Structure 1
Amino acid sequence: MAETFDHGGGVRSVRVPIPDNPLGHTLVYVVDTDRGPVLVDTGWDDPGAWDTLAAGLADCGTAVREVYGVVVTHHHPDHHGLSARVREVSGAWVALHAADAAIVRRTREGRPEQWFAYMADKLAAAGAPEEHVAPLRSARGRTLPGLSPALPDREIVPGKLLDLPGRRLRAVWTPGHTPGHVCLHLEEEHPARLPGRGRLFSGDHLLPGVTPHIGLYEDPGDATVTDPLGDYLDSLERVARLVPAEVLPAHQHAFTDAPGRVRALLDHHERRLTGLLALLAEPLTPWRLAERMEWNRPWGDIPYGSRNIAVSEAESHLRRLVKLGRAEPVPGSEPVAYVAV
C-alpha cells in the first residue's frame, strides 16, 4: 500500500521503496499543473516500486497515464529509474540536466565489463589490496542497476523556468552529489504562509538528517581532475541564499530552515577536512585514508560495494585539500600517497 502525503498547494509526495537500501524510500513529488501532474523524480526501477508509484498516484487522484512530465533531479537509479516506464505509459517528457544526461548516454553505450575494468584500475591506483580488486577483474557477465536509464527528451537549463503550465518552477544547478544535480525552486507563496521564498525540491543535495555522498565524477574517457566537494560546498551556499520557506527533499521528510541546515553541512565538511589533515601527518593512499576515516560503522563491517563508495569519498576530500594547498601527493609514490602540507 502506498504512503502519500499532501504538502498543500497542489503538491503531494509518494514514498517509493528502494530495495535493500538503508534510505528505505525515495519521495516522488506529484505537482499539479494545468496540463496534468508532473513528477519530480520517479524512484527505483523495480516491480514493487512501480506498483507503489502507481498506487500512490491513484491515492493522489490521478494515474500514471495522466502524467504530463518528469523532472529528474539527478541520474541515480533511485531517482531516474522508473522514468522510462512512466514515459512509456503516459507519453510524458523527461527532463535532466545536460551533465547528467551525458552520463546516461555513456552508461547506455558502455558494456558492464568496461565499467568493472575501469573500477578495478581506479581502486588499484587508490591503493586497494589485490583481494578487493580481484572480483572486479573477473566480473564478466554481471550486471549493474541503472544500465539502461531513460534518455531525456528535454534539458533542464539552470536559471530557467520548467514547462509546468500554471506553476513557477525554476531550475537551480547544484553539482556535487552528481555533476548535473539540480534543485527546483517553486516560486510560489507557501500554502501555510511560512516565512521565506517558496519551496525547494532539493533531491539529494539537501537532506534533513543525512550528509549526501560526495564521490568522484567517474568518466572513463575523461582525465579532467574535478573537485566534486568544492562544487558541493559552493552549491550549498547558492541554495542557502534562496531562503526557501520549506525544503522538500528526496529522502526522509520535509523541513524548514534551509540556511541552518546548510551551515551544519558546511561545518561538517570543514571538521572532516581538518580531521583528515591530522590523519595525513603520515603519507596515506586514498584506500588507507578511507580505512581510518569515521563512517557510520567500523571499516571491518562496511560491505564490499560500500567500501568502493567510501574510497571515492576519501578521494573527493583529498582533491579538495590538494586544491586548497593543504595536502599534496608524495613524489614517486606508487600507488600515490598524500601528505598534509
Structure 2
Amino acid sequence: MTQVTEHGGGVWSLRVPIPDNPLGHTLVHVLDTDRGPVLVDTGWDDPASWDELTSGLAALGLSVREIHGVVITHHHPDHHGLSGRVREESGAWIAMHAADTAVVRRTREAEPGTWFDYLARKLATVGAPEDHIAPLRAARASGRMRTLPGLRSALPDREIVPGELLDLAGRRLRAIWTPGHTPGHVCLHLEEEHPSRLPGHGRLFSGDHLLPGISPHIGLYEDPDDATAADPLGDYLDSLERIGRLGVAEVLPAHQYAFTDAAGRVRELLDHHEERLTGLLGLLAVPLTPWQLAERMEWNRPWDQIPYGSRNIAVSEAEAHLRRLVKLGRAEPVAGTDPVTYIAV
C-alpha cells in the first residue's frame, strides 16, 4: 500500500510501522497550518519507524525540522513513541490530555521494579497461575527493569483541554475527551468543510477510539497508587455515544483506513459490547475469577495460542467487563473467595 495518502484540505496520513505487531502500522496524520506542519501522533520509537516517518515527510517535501507541533491522541507507544525525537529535531511542542500526561510522568518517574511488582500482585489477585507470574518475578530479580515500552516517552509540554480549540493558526481543531482506551484519550474534530464536500460536519482524527474494522482494547487503567474502581468500559461506551452525535463527514483513524458513517460504526460497536456483556453473563452462571473468565472469553485465537504478554492484556479486558457488569448490577463478587470470583445475578 502507498506510504503517503492525501486526504485533501491540507491533511495527509503516513504509514509508520509498528514492529512485531499484527496491526502493522500507525497512521500518523500531517496537518498543514499557517505556522508550519503539525503531526497528529508520531508512531513507535524504533529506527525503522523513524525512517518511515522521515521518508513520508520527505515525500511531502517536508523535513522533521519543520514540524511546528505534535498533538497526541493518547499515551500508547505506537502513538507517542517518536514524539520526543521529533521535538529534539525540530523544537516542536507536544500536546496531550492531562490524564495521559500523568501516565507518562508516572511511568518515567517510577522506581525500578515498581511495574513488575505491581503486575505480579495484580495477576495473583485475579487468579493467574503461578507459572504465569513467575517470569515477572524473575525479571524483577534479574534487574531487567528498563526495557518496557514507554519509559523513554517524552513528557508533553502543552495540555489538551477538552472542548477547546487547539492553538493551530488557520485551522479549527477542537479536542473531544474520549476516555476508555486510555484515561486521557482524545479525538480531534476538524471543524472545517470537507474538501470533497461530503455531507456532515467536518472530519475526526479518532486515534484508537473509533476504528473501521476492529474494537480497541478496553482494559483497566493501570496505576499502582490508585485504588479507585474506575469503569473504563463505561467510559468508552459513553464516549462512543458522544462521538456518534457529532455527525462528522469522515473519520481519519490511527489504524486501518479512513471511513464515513461514523454514527453507523458507533452503533455497531455499542451493539458488539452489549452482546459481549450478555455472553459473559452466561459464562458467569458459575463463579469465576477474572483469569478464568478471560480463559473462556472469545478472542481472535484459542487461549493456549495467545502469547504471554497478550494474556495480561486479555485479563485486563476481562476485568474491565466485570467492572461494568458489577456497576450495572448484573454481576457481583462472591463473598469470602480468594482470589475473588464473580457470579451473574
Query: Does TM, scored on the shorter chain, surpass 0.5?
Result: yes
Aligned to 1:54: 54
Structure 2 counterpart SS, 1:50: helix
Structure 1 residues 301 and 112, CA gap change in structure 2 (3 angstroms):
farther
Aligned to 1:181: 185
Number of aligned positions between the proteins: 341
Is residue 199 from structure 1 mapped to residue 188 from structure 2 by the alignment? no
Aligned to 1:295: 299
1:253-292 correspondence runs (5 A): 253-292=257-296
Aligned to 1:323: 327
Counterpart AA for 2:155 = L
Residues 37-95 of structure 1, C-alpha deviation per residue, up to 9 Å, x if partnerless? 00000000000100110010111121100000000000000000000000010000000
Identity of aligned residues (%): 79
**Structure 1 range deviating more: 95-104 or 144-153:** 144-153
Aligned to 2:123: 123
Structure 2 counterpart SS, 1:297: coil
Kept in 1: contact 2:18–2:49 (CA 8 A): yes
1:86-101 correspondence runs (5 A): 86-101=86-101
Aligned to 2:243: 239
1:1-341 correspondence runs (5 A): 3-140=3-140, 141-142=143-144, 143-341=147-345
Counterpart AA for 2:234 = G
Residues 115-148 of structure 1, C-alpha deviation per residue, up to 9 Å, x if partnerless? 0110011011000000001111111332211112
Kept in 2: contact 1:2–1:52 (CA 8 A): no
Structure 1 residues without counterparts, runs of 5 or longer: none
Counterpart AA for 2:245 = R
Separation in structure 2 between the aligned mates of residue 145 and residue 215 of structure 1, nearest angstrom: 17
1:193, distance to aligned residue in structure 2 (A): 0.3
Structure 2 counterpart SS, 1:139: helix
Structure 1 counterpart SS, 2:113: helix
1:315, distance to aligned residue in structure 2 (A): 0.2
1:111, distance to aligned residue in structure 2 (A): 3.4
Residues 167-204 of structure 1, C-alpha deviation per residue, up to 9 Å, x if partnerless? 00000000000000000000000000000000000000
CA RMSD of aligned residues (A): 0.9
Counterpart AA for 1:135 = P
Point out 4+ residue stretches in structure 1 off by more than 2 angstroms: none
Kept in 1: contact 2:104–2:150 (CA 8 A): no
Normalising by the residue count of structure 1, what TM-score does the alignment of the two structures yield? 0.99
